Structure 1
Amino acid sequence: MDRLTFSARQATLIGLLAVIFFSSVAGLIRSVAEGLGPVGGAAMLYSLASVLLFFTVGIPKLGSFPRIYLYFGSLLFVSYEICLSLSLGFALNHSQSIEVGMVNYLWPSMTILMAVIFKQQKANLLLIPGMVLSFVGLCWVLSGNRGLSLVSIAANVQSNPLSYGLAFAGAIIWSLYCILTSKKANGSNGITLFFMLTAATLWIKYATGSAATLHFTPHAAISLVLAAVALGCGYAAWNIGILHGNVTVLATASYFIPIFSSALAAFILSTPLGISFWQGAAMVSLGSLICWRSTRTKVRTVTSVNQQHLD
């Protein structure tokens, strides 16, 4: 797809389409997990997405990859994708899966914080209120309809520490992956290889675990195809947008993915969300934007953070 010629306007529009694709992933992953199981469904999803990425993005020559990016990038990417997919798959219900997805969306603000900690990026004092607002927004979401309640948050997390723990670990892992990619990738894009490794790891877990036999239904098959297309086409479209479009427009739009994703997940899973949830989601997005604004070299940071992944 990248061999085609696109104007800046066309590339930007294609990149914005990728934001919609990525926003639909959380709800679709949950739908696949309900039909095929958390592990087996994820294994099927990443296998099919790998095939799509092979034809849309392709596999570059691995010999040109910096070794540290190839090895550690693979480890971090696979770990993140497993944390994301299983955290959604093991959620107790639809509402909890959407909340778990919101935990994952701490990664944009955490990536900027990690960049500052590792001295890859300079930031002003706006970083502090941005981080605080993101975490307060998440706590607001996890409190349910009770405003900000530590008791409700604790009860929520204790009801399923596995899903919430995986989601939070994933946010940290992805922020580290973004830092590594920015510093060590040298323009390499191992997304297709990384997806294949994720699929292989999930199949190993499926084969060595006690998961039930995959049982395909029309609904499960449709959800699987839609999720794979959202991932595969999302990455292909994002590459075009980043390479040929307006990066600032795309980066700004990407920080609203928590809101877009929640809306699409609520639609896909037929799960209404209360006003408190939307207030918290808005805080998470606004906090991420404030963190971004705190950086001095905005375009470089956003490009490195968002170029590889947004789900």
Structure 2
Amino acid sequence: MNSKKATLIGLTAIFLWSLIVALIKEVSHYFGPIGGAALIYSLASIFLLISFGWTNLKDFPSKYLIGGSILFVSYEICLSLSIGYSTNSKQAIEIGMVNYLWPTVTILFSIIFNKQKANFLIIPGVCLSIIGICLVLGGDEGFSFKDMMSNIKDNPFSYGLALLGVFLWAAYCTLTARAANGKNGITLFFIMVSIVLWIKWILSGDVSPYFELDSIIYLVLAAFAMGIGYGAWNVGIMHGNVTLLATASYFIPVFSALVSALVLSTHLTVGFWKGALIVCLGSLLCWIATKPKS
């Protein structure tokens, strides 16, 4: 596969990931937070099996297979349920934005655990990421600590899950870099996520799935965006322009907020957009801080 085609496929993944927050929220409306997430990951697993096949478990390093599966499954459950249990569309978009702290935290984990070298830009990068999230959560008129805490208290479960997910995904990325040995367990991990969610759905007494044309369309789109997005990204980073893809990926928060606002018909304030852009800038600075000098 030539580099330009692989890069285009990788950029497609960024677009697909930008749809995830809005689609998870819509699916949870029809099928419930747990049932909706279980259906998404089950169908996404099928898409992954068809598109990328199955890898023999014996080929996986044991550390990656065990540790990676626990971290990946835990993160995906945190992500899907934090959005699914959001009380309204605006809150779902805010929770999605909290999730996009993961690039900054991943780089910090790489510095701490993988001995990744970084320059002084890491400090303003981390600070800007935190400031950006505070602006996103801080109220309609800009940052307000009182409004931010009031916002979080309105649904501490979802915001807490989103923040926990940030650290779980950063830990997964850090472990993968050290222990995966080039192997990709995405298909297996998606199947495991769906199994755990179905067990949770049976035990929780969540609402029964309600199938109609709109709900099926949203379900298929969500599963496609989730599963094929991961697969397309892997193609891009293995065969495409990694620098271009990495730079573009740091603007997913803005793309996601824009798409979510359109799909969920939600008005977002100027303060929110300022915060989203600052989160992107902070993540980008953190990435630049780890790049070696030419």
The equivalent residue for 1:302 is: none
- Match among 77, 88, 95 for residue 100 of structure 1: 95
SS at match of 1:294: helix
Which runs of 5 or more structure 2 residues have no equivalent in the other structure? none
Matched residues in 2 for 1:167 and 1:12: separation? Answer: 29
Matched residues in 1 for 2:293 and 2:17: separation? Answer: 22
The equivalent residue for 1:306 is: none
* 2:272 is the alignment partner of 1:277: yes
Q: How does 1:138-287 map to 2 (within 5 A)?
A: 138-287=133-282
Which runs of 5 or more structure 1 residues have no equivalent in the other structure? 1-5, 300-311
Matched residues in 2 for 1:274 and 1:20: separation? Answer: 23
Q: What's the TM-score once normalised by structure 1's chain length?
A: 0.92
Contact 2:114–2:174 (CA under 8 A) maintained in structure 1:
no
Q: Which amino acid aligns with 2:150?
A: A
* 2:121 is the alignment partner of 1:126: yes
The equivalent residue for 1:67 is: 62
Q: Which amino acid aligns with 1:94?
A: S
Matched residues in 2 for 1:297 and 1:97: separation? Answer: 37
Q: Which amino acid aligns with 2:157?
A: L
> Alignment length, in residue pairs?
294
Measured on the aligned residues, the alpha-carbon RMSD in Å equals: 1.2
Instruction: Work out the percentage of aligned pairs sharing the same amino acid.
Output: 53
Matched residues in 2 for 1:109 and 1:74: separation? Answer: 22
What is the CA deviation profile of residues 160-209 of structure 1, one whole-angstrom value per residue up to 9, with x for unaligned ones? Answer: 00000000000010000000000000001000000000000000000011
What is the CA deviation profile of residues 16-52 of structure 1, one whole-angstrom value per residue up to 9, with x for unaligned ones? Answer: 1111011111110111011110000000000000000
The equivalent residue for 2:78 is: 83
Q: How does 1:290-309 map to 2 (within 5 A)?
A: 290-297=285-292
The equivalent residue for 1:305 is: none
SS at match of 2:290: coil
Q: What's the TM-score once normalised by structure 2's chain length?
A: 0.98
> How far apart are 1:234 and its partner, in Å?
1.3
